[in-house]
Amino acid sequence: MSVTRRAPADSPVSDARPWRATPPGAARRWLRQRRREHEGRAGNIYFLSLSILVGIAVGAGTLPRLLSGVSRAADPATAVPLLAVGLLGYAFALTVAARFGPVTATPATLAWWLTGPVDRRALLLPSAALVLSVAAVAGALHGAFVVAVVGATDQAAAAAVVTAGIAAGLLTGALVMVVQTVTDASATVLERIAVLLGVAAAVLTVVRTPASVVSTWIGPWSWPQAAADGRGGSWLPWAVLAGLVVTAVAVRRLDRLPLRRLAAGSTLGAIAGAGLVTVDPGIASRAAEERRWAVRSPRGGGLPRVAGPRAVVGHDLVVLRRSPQHLLAAGAALLVPALLGILTGWGVTLAVGWLLSGLVAITPSTVNARRDRDLPALRRLLNLPGPTLVGARSALPVTLAVAWCTGAGALLAARTPGADGWVWPLLGAAAGPGLAVGALRAARRGAVRHELPPIVTPMGILPTGPLHWAATGYDVAVLFTAPTLVALVTGAPTAMILPQAIVSAVGVVAFVLLAGRGDERR
């Protein structure tokens, strides 16, 4: 029970002010004191110093071997593909940054700390440091990839290429942070820039472009390549200085970052963190998918007026039409095999790249198949036999896989030296159903089985549940696309067309029957 005291009737209200607000200075001092008490500064300094020392030791042991590339004659055929790879990498990085913020905070920090009289820049500085660190590491990996493809005369030249990559990544990360502090539509701006970079990469990959065009695409995505060509002596120090200056500007503007620009990224970050803490990425992916549809308001595009299995296929088509970003991702993944074929040639790298990029392109079309497996009650409302429903859900992924594999094969044959023009598209069409079976099995794998017995090793206990979850789907994809993978390794596709067609047909029929009958028993 609360009692409200009123001012006496004979005294003016303006003279009695027992409710006057406390000055914020005392609250700030109290908050700083509590943070110092619970900050664990010594432990943080020890952890940071240990991490830096371990990183220096690992780099000192591996970088000399990694960057000791043998100098090779400049191949004009690799200049444009390297530029396309850089554009694709930066498009992917900007897309990820648009999804996560990039600067973000935990929901508890948003609710309790950022709403109080605290130094917002100091509170967001760890998140900003993480963003800049990830950007610098990504840039270093880009530079190391350029060294691995082009080579270097000595370790000093290789270090210059990697330094150019780090400067480019640092500059890009800082610019993304500045954009987030300037506009509320930072995610839209970053996504549009990513689309433009992806379109430019597609044009450079599909259209035969002279190598002289590389010098006109001046940007962070081409800095490592320019340094590898010997053009980094004059501008590289200025590029590093520009990255540091923009980083200082981005850090200074952190206090101008409002709460509304942190909310979306913090929610997605919390979902990813929950999947990491629970060692169950499936939960995180499902939560992210549900959140994506919850914040959208679809317009029109109702279900077609059909019944039975055709209605299921129509439902999948409506979902795909409402997700144009998935088609853009499939188009970007289409470029990966062709670029790897030009840069690395036939081999294991090309086979792995083809398999992973194909699964990335097909997986978004299997969302409804995963929901049917997760929610048996909704599946029963459709009143369809298990194999019939699974077959209907498989129609769109199989069609998309056949189209993607055919396009990837045609592009690979057109841009890879020594490739048969008509064989690779035909082999891709035969491998499409097998690749779709792998994506469908991965979508229906459910939660991580933590009850599986762990593996005891001298380094500690290795849980088998997450390993089983990660391998489910990829094992079937490798099994039912084995002839195509062998052809990508050896470069001889003609003899693999018939075996691939047989294996794909057997895989689709077996998956539909086994998965459908398994759903009927649930």
Among 153-157, 232-236, 450-454, name the one with the lowest average pLDDT: 232-236
**Amino acid (one-letter) located at 1:** M
Can you spell out the DSSP letters for 257-304? --THHHHHHHHHHHHHHHHHHTT-HHHHHHHHHHHHHHT----S----
Q: Which two tokens stand for residue 432?
A: 């499409």
CA atoms within 13 A on the CB side of 348: 0
Give the best-scoring range by mean pLDDT among 24-28, 42-46, 144-148.
144-148
What pLDDT score was predicted for residue 229?
Answer: 75
User: Model confidence over 415-438: pLDDT tens digits?
Assistant: 776 666 788 889 999 999 999 999
Per-residue H/E/C for 435-461: HHHHHHHHHCCCCCCCCCCCEEECCEE
- Kindly report the backbone phi and psi dihedral angles of residue 178, in degrees, each rounded to the nearest multiple of 5, phi listed first: -65, -40
Query: Is 21's pLDDT higher than 50?
Result: yes
Which residues does 350 contact at the CB level (< 8 Å), separation at least 6? 337, 340, 341, 344, 488, 489
Report how far residue 366's alpha carbon sits from residue 440's, in angstroms, rounded to the nearest whole number: 6
Please give the Cα distance from 465 to 434 (Å, whole number).
25
Residue range 137-145: mean pLDDT, rounded: 88
Residue 368 and residue 387: Cα distance in Å, rounded? 15
Which of the four pLDDT bands, split at 50, 70 and 90, describes residue 13? very low
Q: What angle do CA 196, 199, 205 make, to 5 degrees?
A: 145
Q: What predicted TM-score, i.e. pTM, was given to this entire model?
A: 0.77
- Least confident range from 217-226, 282-291, 351-360, 504-513: namely 282-291
Name the amino acid, one letter, at 134: V
With cut-offs at 50, 70 and 90, classify the pLDDT of residue 18. Answer: very low
Pairing of the two strands 460-462 and 455-457: antiparallel
- At 75 the pLDDT is 60
Contacts of residue 387, defined as CB under 8 A and 6 or more positions apart, other chains included, come to 512, 513, 516, 517
Q: What percent of the chain has pLDDT over 70?
A: 71
Q: Of 379, 381, 404, whose CA–CA distance to 393 is shortest?
A: 379
pLDDT tier, 10 (very low <50, low <70, confident <90, very high otherwise): very low
**Residue 321 corresponds to which tokens in the numbers above?**
């039409």
User: Which CA distances in Å does 477 have to 69, 449, 482?
Assistant: 34, 21, 8
State residue 14's pLDDT score.
42
Per-residue pLDDT, 298: 62
